Structure 1
Amino acid sequence: MELLENGVEANELQDSSLKMESNEIEQNKVSIMRALVEAEDPSAKEVDNFMIRRFLRARDLDIEKASNLFLKYLSWRQKFVPNGSIGASEIPNELAHNKMFMQGLDKNGRPIVVVFGGRHKQNNIEEFKRFVVYTLDKICSRMPGGQEKFVCIGDLKGWGYSNSDIRGYLAALSILQDCYPERLGKLFIVHVPYLFMTAWKAVYPFIDSKTKKKIIFVENKSLRSTLLNEIDESQLPDTYGGPLPLVPIQDA
C-alpha cells in the first residue's frame, strides 16, 4: 500500500512539473509573439496577454500562424469597428428578431448564451455581421473574472427553410473562429429538425477541428439531463425547466 501511495504521489508530482513546464513555455511564446505583433502594429500594445494567448492556443502555439491571424484581426477590427463598439442603433432589424439571450453560468463559471435559430431571418449581411460582433462583445464583457469562454445553447425549435441562411452562418463562423478564437467553450444544438442537416452539411467543412470538438447535438429525450450535467439547476434558463428568465442580449 505504501509503495502504491508513493507511486501515486510521484505521478502527481510529475504531472504538476509537466504542467508548470508547459505553462512556462506558453508564457515565453506569449512574450515573443507580443514583441512581434507590436513591431508590426503598435495598437497591439492595447490588448492583454490573455488575448495573445487565445490566438496562440487557436494555432497550437505556432507563433508565426498565431501572429498572422492576430494581425489580420487587428486590421479587421480597426475597419469594421472603427468606433470601438457596435451600437444597438446599427442593428435594429437583427435585434427585432429577438433571437439571442443570456442567462446564468455553467458549472465552470462560463456565461450561458441561448440562440433561437428558428427566429433568424435572412437580412442584410453587413448588418448581420455587425450583430454577431455586437453579441460577441456583449458576451465577452459579461465574463466573470478569470473566465475566458462561454457556453451556447443553439435551439432550433421551429427551424425551417426560411431560416436557412448559409451565407450568414458562414459569416458568423468566420468571425467567431478568426476574430474571437478560444472564446467558445461548448455549443449544445437542441431541438434539431431533420431538415437542418442539409444546412449543417454545407457549413460543416468550414468548421475548424478545435471548434468541431466543442459541438454537441442533443436528442430531445436527453435534453434536460445533458444540460444538468453541465449546468446547475439553479442556473438553468426557465425555457429548459430552470428558475432563471432569459434576458435579451441587448439588456444583458
Structure 2
Amino acid sequence: MAERQQQQQVASDGDAAEWKQVAELRAVTQAQDPSCKEEDDYTLRRFLRARDHNIGKASAMLLKYLKWKPTAKPHGAIPASEVAREVAQAKLCLQGYDREGRPLIYGFGARHHPARRDLEEFKRYVVHVLDATVARLPPPGPGRQEKFAAVADLKGWGYANCDIRGYLAALDIMQNYYPERLGRVFLVHVPYVFMAAWKIVYPFIDDNTKKKFVFVADKDLDRTLREAIDDSQLAEIYGGKLKLVEPAADDSN
C-alpha cells in the first residue's frame, strides 16, 4: 500500500521523463546493490539531479552512498551523545525556517576549535547535523521542500578556527552523500583573513553548489536576511525574534 501511494505521489510530481530516468537509475543500481530498494524515489531523484541526469554517473554516486551508509551510520543514526565534544561547542543551532520553508542552520565559525577536535568525530558530527536537519523537512511528496538553508556567521573567526581538513571533510559528506539538500548559505561578518581559507576550499566545491554560497556585506546584512527569513524565524542577534537555544549533548537524536 505504501509503495502504491508513493508511486501515485511521484506520478503527480514533475517531469514524467525525469521519473522514467529515476526508474532506470533504480534498475541499474539495484542490480549491483540490492539495498537500493530501501531508498525512495525522491532520494534517487536527488542523486540523478546531482549528476545532471547522467544515469551512469548518478549510479556510481548512488552506489558509493549505499556502501557508505551502513558504515557511517551502523545504527541508522548518530546520536548527539556520540559527538558530545562537538555538540558542547554550540557552534550550530538547528532552528527556524526561511521563507521557502527550508529548515535553517545558524552556524558560528569562531566556536570551532580544530586543535581540540578529532577528525573522525567531527565527520560523525556533520552526519548527525545533516540527518537532524533533514528530519525537520516534510515527508517526501509532490512540491514539498527537500533542501535546507544556513547562516554562517564568521564574526571573530581567526587562524585558530581555520580547519581546512574539517571543511573539506564536511563538504565531501554533504556533496557526495546528501546531494541536492543544500539550498543556500549566507556567509555573514566575514573577516578578510577567512578569504585565504576560502580560496583553498573553493576548487573542491562543485559548480552547482558554488552558486549557493552568498557572501553578505555588513551594510546589506539586515536587508538580505529579512528578505530571506521572516522576523519570527530570524535569530535575535540579527534583529529577529527567534531565541537560539544551545543544543544538548545528551539528546538522543
**Distance in 2 between the 1:234 and 1:95 partners?**
25
Cα displacement (A) at 1:229: 1.3
- Aligned length, in residue pairs: 233
Does 2:45 correspond to 1:47? no
Q: Relative to structure 1, is the Cα distance of residues 57 and 248 closer, same or farther in structure 2, using a 3 angstrom cutoff? A: farther
Counterparts of 1:48 and 1:232 in 2: how far apart (Å)?
Answer: 32
The structural deviation recorded for 1:41 is: 1.1
Equivalent positions of 1:100-119 (< 5 A) are 100-119=92-111
Residue segments in structure 1 that go unaligned for 5+ positions in a row? 1-19
Aligned 1:53-202 pairs, distance under 5 A: 53-122=45-114, 123-145=117-139, 146-202=144-200
1:222 aligned to 2:220? Answer: yes
| 2:83 alignment partner AA | I
1:12 corresponding residue in structure 2: none
Q: Which region of structure 1 is more displaced relative to structure 2, 95-104 or 192-201?
A: 95-104
CA offset at residue 249 of structure 1? 4.7
How far did residue 154 of structure 1 move? 0.5
| 1:240 alignment partner in structure 2 | 238
Moved more, 214-223 or 35-44: 35-44
Larger Rg: 1
Runs of 4+ deviating beyond 3 Å? 247-252
SS in 2 for 1:103: coil
- Contact kept? 1:135, 1:249, Cα under 8 Å: no
Equivalent position of 1:32 in the other structure: 24
Q: Per the alignment, in what secondary structure is the counterpart of residue 131 of structure 2?
A: helix
Higher relative contact order structure (alpha carbons within 8 Å, sequence separation ≥ 6): 2
Structure 2 match to 1:10: none
Pairwise mapping of residues 2-41 of structure 1 onto structure 2 (< 5 A)?
23-41=15-33
Which stretch shows the higher mean deviation, 127-136 or 42-51? Answer: 42-51
Larger fraction in helix: 1
C-alpha separation in 1, matches of 2:79 and 2:94? 18
**Sequence identity (%):** 54
TM-score using structure 2 length: 0.88
In structure 2, C-alpha distance between the alignment counterparts of 1:42 and 1:239, rounded to whole Å:
48
Q: How far is the alpha carbon of 1:121 from its aligned partner?
A: 0.9
RMSD between aligned alpha carbons? 1.6
| Unaligned stretches of 5+ residues in structure 2 | 1-11
